[in-house]
A and B are shown apart, each in its own frame.
Chain A
Amino acid sequence: MVKSTEDKALKMRKPLKRRPLKTVPMLLLITAYQLYMFSQLAVTNIKALEINYTMLIYFGVFIVAEWLYYIVMRAFAKRRNFEIELIGFFLTGIGFAAIGSAKPDGLLVQTGAFLLGLIGFSVLVWILGDSERAMKLRLPLGILALVILVANIFLGSDINGARNWIVIGNAISIQPSEFVKIIFVFVGAATLEKLQTSKNLYTFIGFSAACVGVLFILRDFGTAVIFFLTFLLIAFMRSGDVRTIALALASAGLGGWLIAMFKTTVKNRFATYRHVWDADMIDGKGFQQTRVLIGIASGGLFGLGLGKGNVRDVIFSSTDLIFGVVCEELGVITGFAVLACFMLFAVYAINNAKTSRSTFYSIAATAAAGLLLFQASINIFGVTDVIPFTGVTLPFISRGGSSMISCWGLLAFIKAGDSRTYLTTYGELKK
């Protein structure tokens, strides 16, 4: 009897060692990691102590913002768990380093967008704290999303073949479809009682069809595919009906085939696909993919070091081809680590669905994580010629203000899915 109790005690002792993540040491490690990367770029000549002070300011603001966020949330919001934000900081830091190497001028916008993204993230986490409040916002936000997208048809400017940009005063250009991603997840999620009273998906199908339709008109095919895949994920989570999903997939497949046949841009991309190494493609339409593949190979497992790669000289290296820059300069291991983050976010969101405070959070977290994973996959597999290449950004890493704000907005849904986030809201932790 005594022995068996001792055995139990020994078995029980092991999991006790599984301590929670201590935020301060981890944030210090992330800061050290970022400082090392940034120093490679900011210190241009170590012997002559030549320092790029402009770059130093951007990196400094970024690191200070990370710590400020932690201190404010710890002190005022009584938050105790920061794993999701830490991963966000880690990814954004890699993005800053890659942009600093490929297009240093882009760091100003990136820093501003990061600050706005972090503020947006905090506000969204607060809004999501009350699922009732979030449910009330779905209709106005859904209408707003459609208005934004339709306005884009008339006010949008053609940049890189897609009419998905709104340029304000020749200085600021924003991509409204990036913000609609957040609203799309918001509208798709619902509480359990709402799901049980209105089981049909027609309203959401109509909303999704309108969003995807407008994106096709705007010729933003990459984002349209991401929206469609996220729609399938949300539809399955809401209904659990495989037949609906199969029907949607079949009709989308047919529609996609028709578009690929008749739309010149898409047709060209399919023509390049799996032929980038052909003699007539290698320095032509397949130039970007071949340079990324060469860059990944030359970077090897550990990379050449920041600022020493060749992919950064290729056009769109700081946006669509940023994965090539990361792999070449920081190594394939870091590249895979970035991809692993998106995969693990998706696994975590699915895993966490049962313990969320509401079905609203479960659906929203899974949809947001799924959207980030789809986007990352389309970018990474596109530039490596695994799938046809289309211009979408790599979440948190690529240069782009709208994209950065959108990514932090989506991260808020994953944060809200963690039941530990709202301890004070539900009175489980005294303020």
Chain B
Amino acid sequence: MKLLLYLPQILLCLVAIFIIVRCFVSLFSMRPAGKPKAVLINKQSGKKLAISTYETSLGRAKNSDIQLASSLASRSHAVISRRKKGWFITDTESKAGTFVNGEQTEGAVRLYHGDTITIGGVDYTFIAPHASRDENAAVPVSQEARGTLINLATNYPYQIQGGKLTIGRNENCDVVIEDITVSRLHAVVQYTDEGWVVADNDSKAGVGVNGYRVHGSEPIEDGDKIMINTHLFMFRDGSGVQRRGARG
């Protein structure tokens, strides 16, 4: 009888714990949405360095996001940041200075697709298709974007043409999966302003990237594993961009 009187109090405590656990589990487990996409190409060696965070430090120091090999570069040389208006580079009081298209930078200088950045005597081309100088210009990259989706069960490579590939049960899809649990148009892999993404087309079974469920669309990189229900694919980026942390 006494327990019955206490039951609402016990229930109240359990509900409190459930609310906190559920909210924090969701906070901790959700993958951060969206990553900025830009690339620096070393003009001499042709090496590509991916910029995938909103603030990327460049310098000789080991803790720099992109570690520069040139002895003329300062330990902390510059910072490339993605802001609301676009991409910017700021020289962080380096000795040799930072140059954009041959002009020494002062303060934050806006970067556009194709700009040449000179750091420590080394030229880099800044690649960010969505950061075109002419904002009204159509970005033709999606037509040029190349990629492959490999079915890991059969090892069959599906070439992505025109920057877009559809996956589903419908026979009109580029990748047809004959499985009743797969939706008619289940997902789309496409090249967007922010780079390659996989988008879930409100499918019933969902889409996963490296084991995490996709909500809406999710950026993907070379080597990412895409899961369509139980069907596993690997995405290969045809542009061959190196992952973050590589030496420049």
Contact = CB atoms under 8 A, between A and B. Distances in A.
A13 B230 contact: yes
A32 B15 CA distance: 10
Given A196-B57, A348-B27, A358-B54, 7 more contacts: A5-B152, A18-B213, A29-B15, A131-B83, A305-B9, A348-B28, A418-B32
For A84, A192, A196, A337, the residue with the greatest tally of chain B CB atoms inside 10 Å of its CB is A196
Contacts, number: 167
Given A12-B225, A26-B19, A423-B34, A334 B12 contact: yes
B140 interface: no
A340 B92 contact: no
Given A36-B12, A420-B33, A83 B19 contact: no
B34 A428 contact: yes
Nearest to A2: B153
A355 B208 CA distance: 20
A312 interface: no
A282 interface: no
A366 to B, nearest CB: 15
Contacts of A19: 213
Given A192-B81, A301-B13, A341-B20, A20 B30 contact: yes
Instruction: Classify the interface of chain B: helix, strand, loop or mixed.
Output: mixed
Given A16-B206, A87-B23, A355 B79 contact: no
B20 A12 contact: no
B212 A15 contact: yes
Contact of A302 (B9, B216, B232): B9
A185 B195 CA distance: 35
A87 B33 contact: no
Contacts of B36: 426
A81 B19 contact: no
Given A420-B32, A427-B193, A15 B13 contact: no
Nearest to B55: A192
A331 interface: yes
A426 B232 contact: no
B108 interface: yes
Contact of A132 (B84, B92, B232): B84
